Amino acid sequence: MAALRPPRLDAAADEVAGVAAAAPDWDTLAAVARSCVACPELAATRQHVVVGDLPASGAARFVLLGEAPGANEDETGRPFVGRSGALLDQLLGEAGLDRAEGAVLNIVKCRPPGNRTPTSPEVARCSGWLRRQLELLDARVVVALGLSAAKWFLGPRTVLGQVRGRPHLLDGRTVWATYHPSAAIRFGPKGAPRAGLLADLTAVAGSLS
């Protein structure tokens, strides 16, 4: 069985990881994460720390993991609520998955200004929250949406086209890597990312049934 390969820790990341590891439950973690200032630029510019969505039952059949909040997510405090979220909801439905049964998370909980890609230190710092979230959820099936999420699990040299479409067993979890909905929007309704995302979500649904 392979092991997770998230980014290495720095001092601030170490501190986040320690605080996150001490959180006994989701609500405690969420409350502490909402006041996190480990990434000074993001903490100064965000409106919300987007901790993530849990199913009402508290038990997630699967986890959807994106990269970072965008403008709509930053404004509302919820993940995947903009155009990407709408397309994700549509494709989940077509695949036979119900978003309400899953947890929805991002690697980085605060919006990078201008929607830039999160830096490696930002990813490393926020990884402490994510690691603990995955533990608390006891997440057995994770769908990594986009290259950043795929790299978090599979390592920095990951090529999405080479790893998508099949399950990866990592630390007792099944991880699927696929396109981010924003890529499906960018390449249009007939583009390969949309078809690939739908095919991968359908495969995940099949594995859960």
- Rg (C-alpha) for the chain, rounded Å, is 16
Q: Does 91 bind ligand SF4 (CB under 6 A)?
A: no
Q: Does 149 bind ligand SF4 (CB under 6 A)?
A: no
Return the DSSP state at 35.
T
Q: Does 132 bind ligand SF4 (CB under 6 A)?
A: no
**Taking the complex as a whole, how short is the minimal distance between the CB of residue 152 and ligand SF4, in angstroms?**
13
- Residue (72 or 202) nearer to ligand SF4, CB: 72
Q: Does 105 bind ligand SF4 (CB under 6 A)?
A: no
Q: Where are the alpha helices (DSSP H) in the chain?
A: 11-22, 26-33, 40-45, 71-76, 83-95, 120-137, 147-154, 160-163, 181-186, 192-208
Largest CA distance in the chain: 46
Q: For residues 122 and 185, give the distance between their C-alpha atoms in angstroms, rounded to a whole number.
A: 26
Q: Does 97 bind ligand SF4 (CB under 6 A)?
A: no
Q: For residues 179 and 182, give the distance between their C-alpha atoms in angstroms, rounded to a whole number.
A: 8
- Residue (37 or 100) nearer to ligand SF4, CB: 37
Q: For residues 38 and 170, give the distance between their C-alpha atoms in angstroms, rounded to a whole number.
A: 28
Q: Does 65 bind ligand SF4 (CB under 6 A)?
A: no
Q: Does 20 bind ligand SF4 (CB under 6 A)?
A: no
Q: Does 16 bind ligand SF4 (CB under 6 A)?
A: yes
Task: Tell me, by CB under 6 A, how many residues bind ligand SF4.
Answer: 16
Q: Is the four-CA dihedral 91, 92, 94, 95 of positive or negative sign?
A: positive
Judge whether 56 and 47 are in contact, CB under 8 Å.
no
Among 29, 87, 92, 126, binds ligand SF4 (CB under 6 A): 126
In this structure, the chain runs to a length of: 209
Q: Does 38 bind ligand SF4 (CB under 6 A)?
A: yes
Q: Does 200 bind ligand SF4 (CB under 6 A)?
A: no
**Taking the complex as a whole, how short is the minimal distance between the CB of residue 144 and ligand SF4, in angstroms?**
18
Q: Does 110 bind ligand SF4 (CB under 6 A)?
A: yes
Q: Does 137 bind ligand SF4 (CB under 6 A)?
A: no
- Residue (74 or 200) nearer to ligand SF4, CB: 74
Look up residue 82 and give its amino acid: G
Residues engaged in binding ligand SF4 (CB under 6 A): 16, 33, 36-39, 42-43, 49, 108-110, 122, 125-126, 129
